[in-house]
Amino acid sequence: MTSLIIFYLASCVVLGGGLAVVLSRNIVYAAFGLIASLSGVAGIFILSFAPFLALVQILIYGGAIVIVIIFALMLTKLEDFRTLSDHKHWPIALVTSLITLGIIISTAFYRPANLTSRSGLDLSKLADELFSKWAVPFEMASLVLLIALMGGVIMVRKIDSRDDK
Amino acid sequence: MNTFESWLLLIIIMIPLIGAAVFIFMPKDREEMIQWSATILGLITMVLSIYCFAAYNHNDGGFQFANSWIWLDLPSNPIIGQQAIQLNLGIDGISAPMIMLTGIVMFTGVLASRSISDRPKEFFVLFFLLISGVFGVFASLDLFFLFFFYELSVLPMYLLIGIWGSSTDFKTFIRTKEYGAMKLMLYLVAGSVLIWISILAIFAESGLGTFLIPALSEIDFNTTFQLIIFPLVALGFGILAGLWPFHTWSPDGHVAAPTAVSMVHAGVLMKLGAYGIIRVGMFLLPEGAEQWAPVLLGLGTVNVIYGALSALGQRDLKYVIGYSSVSHMGYVLMGIATLNVIGLSGAVLQMFSHGIMTALFFVVVGVIYERTHTRDIGVLEGIAKKMGWVAVLFVIAGLTSLGLPGLSGFVAELLVFIGLFQTYPILGMLGIIGAGITAIYILRLVAKVFFGKLNEDIWNNMVDSKFSKQADSNYWERVSSVVLAITILVVGLFPFPFIKVIDTGVTEILAAMAGSL
Amino acid sequence: MIELTHFQVLSGLLFAIGLYGVLARRNAILVLMSIELMLNAVNINLIGYSIFMNASESHRALGHVLIIFVITIAAAELALAIAIILRLYRNKSSINTDDINIMRW
Amino acid sequence: MESNNTLGLHAAWIIPSISAVAFLIIVVSMRIAGYFYSDRTKLALLAPIVSITAILAGFILFWLVLLDVLNFGGGSISMNWLVVGLTEIRWGIFVDKVSVAMLGLVTFISLLVQVYSIGYMKGDKHFEWYFAIHALFAAAMLTLILADNLLFLYFAWELVGLGSYLLIGFWWEKRSAAEAAKKAFITTRIGDVCLLIGIILLFKATGTFNISTIFHIAESGGISDAILNSSILLIFIGAMGKSAQFPFHVWLPDAMEGPTPVSALIHAATMVAAGVYLVARMMPIFELAPEIMLIVMIIGLITFIFAGSMALVMSDIKRVLAYSTISHLGLMMLCLGTGGVAAAIFHLIVHGIAKALLFLGAGSVMHSIDNETNIWKMGGLRHRMPITAITFFIGAASLAGLPPLAGFFSKDELLLSILHDGQYVVLAITLLGVFLSALYMARVAIVPFLGSTPKHLEQSHESSSIMWVPLVILAILSAGIGFLILPLSSTYPGWAEFIDPSHHFELEPWLMILSIILALAALIFGWSVYLRKSVSAKQIIEFAPSFYKTILNKYYIDDLYQWIIDKCVLAFGNLVALFDRVVINDKAVDGSAISVYMSALKTRVLQTGYLFTYGAAMMLGACGLAILWWILLD
């Protein structure tokens, strides 16, 4: 029961943060909303007996991604879009997302799994899996990261004016 | 059958393919080396292909030089068991002359392309790729590989025409090479879509889980299926054979293409279409062929007359030949549609004969165009004075085209006509009249372009300064065209050995048809 | 008790919010943030299935592994996306998606 | 038909083969020699030596064949050429009295013409090539004569046409020669198309190309009337094309653009006779179709009169001879239409020799006076070139039908044959034609050779001996060969019976006298008009000036054909080409491409470039798929 309450609290943080991201007029607030939302997800992970994932979530999202986003905000003149306006077609966006929501939720209730017994996963088991069965994809992921890094560097480095045009 | 013979067909297919791969790694600036190695590979392939034809035993018949390699295991099916897509090679009496034709046209085409100075390396890579595909189609006994090689032979055409081609530019009539290449490509791809659909339909309907042609030919497909699929096959391959009214890619493509590609294109590639109609259409779907034959025959007749009349109205030398190809392929279609031994043998021989003849035409016209940079019939006059060899060889090709006895065209057309008269005398008459019209446009062309008084001023303006001393064909082009001319003469005078082999294949196909009816 | 349904609904809601953000916001950075929300929605779903499934441990580990991959890819994607945005900003002086329609016919 | 003694038969197939080999040798050696010697003139004589040796060998072998035919009655041998399915197509030769006679004519005249050509063509740029084509032509013509089946005959028939094409266009740098060659080939080609159709029709009905087998089947009624009539008519049209019968006569006068010996050989003695020979050869089957025989007769009659009238007004010496050839070929056809094979073949031979003589004579004249062909610019050449003149007179007199020259006998035989057929109206018109032919012969002989010599011809001289010796030989033959018609000995019952044992030699004195009177009258008339000028030609012309003009313009038939070719055939070709370009290509092919393009223009509006659009569309699409999946699953 306690866990349910914690779940609802975490959900509120997640959804509230999300709403802040998509609704706020100020981009800095939006960034903070994102941090909140991601932290909420970390809470959900803890609830799901996955503290490692929660840690990863906080470290990578909170520590890296959001920071990068804020850096990006700083590098692009913040004053240019201090107040944000939405797309003029936002009702269509709303309808689309509502339809999607409807479908996802109806799948959840259409054939309820009625699974209630939760069981977590040992970190060592995860490590076993990750470094034996999933070793190759894991390495691939590191490669992807490396390439993305290189791509990012190439993309933003100063290029002489010949290429700029 | 010894080991060499069972590998022969694979070798013939692989030589151009490997050649293409080797050319890729040759240094770009060593043009001589590339040309020589292309020539030697071409010669080897031609010799092997001629050997292939000569060693075909017409007493035994059937598919010879057969060999197969499993390429892909299809997922096992509880009903039909484990099956595989095989690279299954073998030739019968119909494909044997086609293999030889391809070999000859390849060699002569390489010789005629020795003068290409713009990126010769890439040219030969693509050209050899094309040839390999053509060999593959004629040698494949597996529908999957037949289609695979078919596509392999179609795709390089686009680049070959688009890059090395030439545009037609009369003030009132402009066709760029890009237009020709694009049109050809779109048409052929459209045709191959139909072919692929029908191949898959045959595969699915047979329930055998195999693409092997001999195995599929054992099956009696139900009549409705045949009636629906045969037109798809005939249309898909027919587009490649220049079937009216889907022929317009062919003159435009011929005209835009460089010499060697025109040769292969008109000489061999159009035969793929007719060959496909026989191999896939008639062999696998006999009832459909039987029912649709009159339609094919009618369209073939239109091809003959219409192509000849169109050729009469052209100004561009290559367009005349392009439309004459449409006309001559009409004889092939007519011969196929007769569904009797004589007509069908005539059709196959006509495929061979027309292949050689058009190749000769294009070598010669290529020489003229290279020297004078024009193909306008209105401008060229009396050039026989400067280009003796060219004139003689063009006349030989022209006479073949109008069906002069002693040259290969006559035998082939005669057999088609005799076959036609067995069933449709009126259409046979129209066919012969078409040959009469051919005489008109060929002789008009010869009289206008080659004969008459040469105007030296116009000539000096026209001729490329490189060739002002020696405008006649060079040795390579002479060898190339003389090889073709000799082939024409040999087939025209002694057609028996050719007919014997063709007859074997045709008889088997017709027997298969009669058996399933 | 917490059920799988809870996770599913939460995930669906977050996904919808993220989707709305992607479609409705005009600022490219905000769009990126919304994409992050959608990825997290997926993660919630994954962890939910992972803990509720009656399956062997190695099967359930799959959910965790996938989450790790999603986070990795999200980081990589973001790095590139930010680079693209910066580049765009430098060239067009705008990161407004409405101004960026060079893919238009 | 198998003969026990095949020596002669083997000799027979060797005859054309030698010439074919000679053709190859000349062509190949020309090329090879060209690489080693830059000076071609040293080798120039090689070609005539090879080709003349070949034809001489042929002429010698001809006697062997003749002996064989006389002793054993000929026969046939053949070999397989093609086997398709169950159908055999064979190459074979057939020798009988008619073909052996033709064999003699062709080898003999070819021999003389080639010898003559050495002198005539001396110094020509393509000297070797000339003899090469001559050899090719001889091979084809001899094959045509010997062929035992229709297909083989057609084979040779076309090659003969090719030889003619190449020889007419021999001086291809002249535009007119190129056009004439083209015209000849295309005109005869129209006939050939019909011939081929006819042959294949017969093949369809009988299953064979062999002529004698076809006769057997036809005589036993194995061919339905419709097929028989149509195929015979088509074969006859083929013969008309080759033999330049009305309305296919237009090519022959133009063919005079070729070298004159060519005209002598091909367009007088041999190739144009092929049509007549074909009809004679096919006579047993023609006789089964009386309607077609009537057509043959009428066509022959029209051609005879019609070409004769044109020969009367032409001023070009070669054209006069060409029209006279057409006219005489018409006469032969006319005779064949009445069933007189022997007479027609006899006239063919006599006319061949005489006309070859006339053409060679004309060539000799032209050679000495700088290729002038207009007879009105000649005159009095008798003094300058006596041998040519005398031989020319003999030839002309023979064709005019003066006794005792050969032409008299053959013409008499022809008239007799018409009379026996009971065609009195035709006979009357033919006699008019006989008058005409004698008149134009008088004209073409008198105007250039008699009278006074114009100044510019003072320098003319007799041709070299290599040219006049053949003339003399031909003249002697032309004078003497007519007696073959008579029953000379107990074993030789006269020509008619020799060819066709059911005929017997006979004479019809009144007809003979009538034809002599007509010929003499024509000669006297011609003499008075053209030499003494006691009768003014102008007055005769003014009698019916428009008629004269019509004849002078060849009855406007050439113009009509030109109009048909230009305005109908070419226009139709252009129309089809335009249709192909505009309707099929631009409207249908490019049109479909354009319609795709236009619809793409409409649908490309969907590609807004806005993230929003793509995102929403993608998501809605995914939702749609989900719903679809859902529905399908339940």
What secondary structure does DSSP assign to D398-431, as a single string?
Answer: HHHT-TTSHHHHHHHHHHHHHHHTT-HHHHHHHH
Q: Looking at B127-207, which runs of residues are DSSP E strands?
A: 168-170, 173-175
The alpha carbon of residue A26 is apart from the nearest alpha carbon of chain C, in Å, by: 10
Q: What percent of chain B has pLDDT over 90?
A: 1
Which pLDDT value is given to residue D126? 79
Give the Cα separation of B96 and B90 in Å (integer). Answer: 9
Give the per-residue pLDDT at C42: 93
CA of B342 to nearest chain D CA: how many angstroms apart? 6
Partnered with residue B84 across adjacent β-strands are B73
Contact B310 D577 (CB under 8 A): yes
pLDDT of residue A81: 58
> Number of Cβ pairs closer than 8 Å across B and D?
146
Any CB–CB contact under 8 A between A103 and chain D? yes
Each residue's pLDDT tens digit, D81-94: 877 777 778 888 88
- Whether the model pTM is above 0.90: no
Provide DSSP, B451-493.
SS---HHHHHHHS-GGGSS--S--HHHHHHHHHHHHHHHHHHH
Q: How far is residue B231 CA from its own chain's centroid?
A: 21
Q: In terms of C-beta density within 10 A (0-12 exposed, 13-18 middle, 19 or more buried), how is residue B104 classed?
A: buried
Supply φ then ψ for residue D201, to 5 degrees: -60, -45
The residue behind tokens 């770009």 is: B28
B394 is written with which tokens?
A: 């063009």
pLDDT in tens, C6-59: 888 999 999 999 999 888 888 888 888 899 999 999 999 999 888 887 778 888
Beta pairing partners, D403 = none
* Min Cα–Cα distance to chain D from C97, Å: 7
Per the structure, the count of domains in chain B is: 1
Q: What is the largest distance, in Å, between two alpha-carbon atoms of chain A?
A: 65
Question: Which phi-psi region, left, alpha or beta, contains residue A77 (left: φ > 0; alpha: ψ -120 to 50)?
Answer: beta
Count Cβ atoms below 10 Å from residue D514 Cβ, excluding itself: 16
Sort out which chain A residues have CB atoms less than 8 A from D612's CB and list them: 87, 89, 92-93
Min mean pLDDT across B52-56, B277-281, D172-176, D531-535 is at D531-535
Any domain includes A133: yes
D230-266 pLDDT, tens digit each: 888 988 888 888 888 888 888 888 888 888 888 888 8
Of A48, A57, A135, the C-alpha closest to C68 is A57
Instruction: Give residue A104's pLDDT.
Output: 87
Q: Examine the fold and report which residue of A49, A66, A83 is the final residue of a domain before the chain moves on.
A: A66
In degrees to the nearest 10, what's the CA dihedral of D16, D20, D22, D26?
160
How high is the mean pLDDT of chain A? 82
Q: Which residue of A has its CA nearest to C25?
A: A86
Section D577-594 average pLDDT: 82
The 10 Å Cβ neighbour count of residue D570 is 17
Partner residue opposite A22 with nearest CB, options C9, C24, C62? C24
Choose the closest CB to A38 out of C40, C47, C91.
C40
Instruction: Name the more confident of D34 and B108.
Output: B108
pLDDT at D411 over 80: yes
Residue D30: is its pLDDT beyond 80?
Answer: no
Is B385 in Cβ contact with D173 (below 8 Å)?
Answer: yes
Bridge partner list, B142: B212
- Look at D159 and B404 and tell me if their CB atoms are within 8 Å: yes
Question: Which residue range forms the structural domain that includes residue A44?
Answer: 1-66
Q: Which helix (H) or strand (E) holds D436?
A: helix D424-449
Q: What is the mean pLDDT of residues D287-310?
A: 86
Mean pLDDT for chain B overall = 84
Average pLDDT over residues B458-483: 78
When pLDDT is averaged across residues B106-120 and rounded to a whole number, the result is 83
Residue A108 domain-assigned? no
Q: What integer pLDDT is reported at residue A50 of this predicted model?
A: 86
Strand pairing of B84-91 and B168-170?
unpaired
pLDDT at A165: 44
Q: Is the pLDDT of residue B210 over 80?
A: no
State the average pLDDT over residues D204-222.
84
**Residue to substitute from A23, A136, A155, interface C, most C β-carbons within 10 A:** A155
In a domain, A4, yes or no: yes
CA max distance for chain C: 54
Residue A96 lies in a domain: no
Domain tally, chain A: 2
From D604, D608, D615, residue closest to C23, measured CB to CB: D615
pLDDT above 60 (res D626): yes
With 0-12 / 13-18 / 19 or more C-beta atoms within 10 angstroms meaning exposed / middle / buried, residue B35 is: buried
User: A96, D626: Cβ pair inside 8 Å?
Assistant: no
Residue B515 scores a pLDDT above 80: no
| Chain A residues whose beta carbon lies within 8 Å of the beta carbon of residue C89 | 75-76
Instruction: Extract the tokens encoding D216.
Output: 């057997």
Chains adjacent to A (≥3 CB pairs closer than 8 angstroms): C, D
CB contact under 8 A, D612 and A93: yes
Q: Round to whole Å and give the CA distance between C87 and C73.
A: 21
Pairwise CB contact (< 8 Å): B421 & D200: yes
Q: Which residues of D touch C105 (CB under 8 A)?
A: 604-605, 607, 609
Q: Which of D608, D612, D615 sits opposite C104 (nearest CB)?
A: D608
Cβ contact (<8 Å) for B451 and D173? yes
As a whole number of Å, the end-to-end CA separation of chain C is 54
D82 with B411: Cβ contact below 8 A: yes
Instruction: Give the pLDDT band of residue C86 (cuts 50, 70, 90).
Output: confident
- Interface of D to A at Cβ within 8 Å reads 612, 616, 619-620, 622-623, 626-627
Q: What pLDDT band is residue D2 in, cutting at 50, 70 and 90?
A: very low
- The answer to whether the CB atoms of D572 and B447 lie below 8 A apart is no
Cβ atoms B498, B345 nearer than 8 A: no
Q: What is the mean pLDDT of chain D?
A: 82
* Per-residue pLDDT tens digits for D58-114: 888 888 888 888 777 777 777 778 777 777 788 888 888 888 888 888 888 888 888
A80 falls within a domain: no
| pLDDT score, position D37 | 66
Q: What is the C-alpha to C-alpha distance for residues D273 and D245, in angstroms, rounded to an integer?
A: 11
Q: Which residue in the set D619, D626, D627 is minimally distant from A96, CB to CB? A: D619
Residue range D354-409, pLDDT digits in tens: 888 888 888 888 877 777 777 777 777 777 788 888 888 888 888 888 777 888 88
Q: Does residue A107 fall inside a structural domain?
A: no
Domain membership of residue A73 (yes or no) is no
pLDDT for C44 equals: 92
Q: What single letter denotes the amino acid at residue B145?
A: F
Please name the amino acid found at residue D330.
Answer: G
pLDDT at D552: 75
Q: Best mutation site among D597, D612, D619 for testing chain C: the one with the most C CBs within 10 Å? A: D612
- Residues of chain C neighbouring A92 (CB-CB closer than 8 A): 23
Nearest to D616 among A96, A103, A107 (CB): A96
Instruction: Output the pLDDT for position D360.
Output: 86
pLDDT at B81: 53
Which of B85, B261, B96, B74 minimizes the C-alpha distance to B185? B261
Q: Inter-chain contact D610–C23, Cβ cutoff 8 Å?
A: no
Please report the pLDDT score of residue C12 as a whole number: 92
Domain around B154 = 3-516
φ and ψ at residue D57, rounded to 5 degrees: -60, -40
What are the chain D neighbours of C103 within 8 Å (beta carbons)?
Answer: 607, 609
CA distance D288 to chain B (A): 23
Distance CA D475, CA D61 (A): 24
How many helices (H) and strands (E) are present in chain A, helices listed first?
A: 8, 0
Distance between CA atoms of B401 and B415, rounded to whole angstroms? 15
Q: Which residues of C touch D609 (CB under 8 A)?
A: 100-105
Residues B354 and B325: beta-carbon distance below 8 Å: yes
What is the distance between the terminal CA atoms of chain B, rounded to a whole angstrom? 34
Q: Quick check: A135 contacting D, CB < 8 Å?
A: no
Whether A95 maps to a domain, the answer reads: no
pLDDT value of position A160: 54
Yes or no: say if D388 and D364 are a contact pair by the CB < 8 Å rule.
Answer: yes
Instruction: Kindly state the percentage of chain D with pLDDT values over 90.
Output: 1
Of A66, A86, A106, the one marking the end of a domain is A66
CA dist D415 → B239, B391, D243, D340, D518 (Å) = 62, 49, 20, 10, 13
C5 closest CB neighbour out of A80, A87, A108: A108
d(Cα D345, Cα D499) in Å, to the nearest integer?
9
Query: Can you tell me whether residue D81 is helix, strand or coil?
Result: strand
Predicted local confidence at residue A18, as pLDDT = 92
pLDDT at B141: 86
Choosing from A51, A66, A81, the residue where a domain stops is: A66
**Best mean pLDDT range from B201-210, C29-38, D460-469:** C29-38
Section A158-163 average pLDDT: 56
Domains of chain C in sequence order: 4-92 (1.10.287.3510)
pLDDT higher at B292 or B85 = B292
Of the pLDDT bands very low, low, confident and very high (cuts 50, 70, 90), residue D3 is: very low
A21/C21 touch (CB, cutoff 8 Å), yes or no: yes
Mean pLDDT of D317-330: 86
